[in-house]
Amino acid sequence: MKVIVAVIIAVVCALVFGVLGFFIGMTKKTKDDEGKILNAKDEANKILTDALNEAEKNKKTQLIETKDEIHKLRSDADRDIRER
């Protein structure tokens, strides 16, 4: 009789600890997944910010090059007018 009670207690304890371990593991996995999601969002925001900064830099460079080209064309046109 004592052996049966001991086996029943062992089985119940194993089930309780198994269920507890499962829920603790799921909680940890959920927190880890949330951390990965936050890291991915941060990385995506950084990539987006870098891309916007690069686009703005390229826009300014193009604007300067366009202004230089306009200045060159005006100078050429003025020189042609003076030569006539």
Q: What is the DSSP letter of 1?
A: -
Amino acid 1: pLDDT: 85
Model pLDDT for residues 5-61, shown as the tens digit of each residue: 999 999 999 999 999 999 999 999 999 999 999 999 999 999 999 999 999 999 999
Buried b (16+ CB within 10 A) or exposed e, 5-14: eeeeeeeeee
Amino acid 83: pLDDT: 84
Q: Rounded to whole angstroms, what are the CA distances from 68 to 20, 74, 75, 80?
A: 72, 10, 10, 18
Amino acid 84: pLDDT: 76
Backbone torsions φ then ψ of 59, nearest 5 degrees: -60, -45
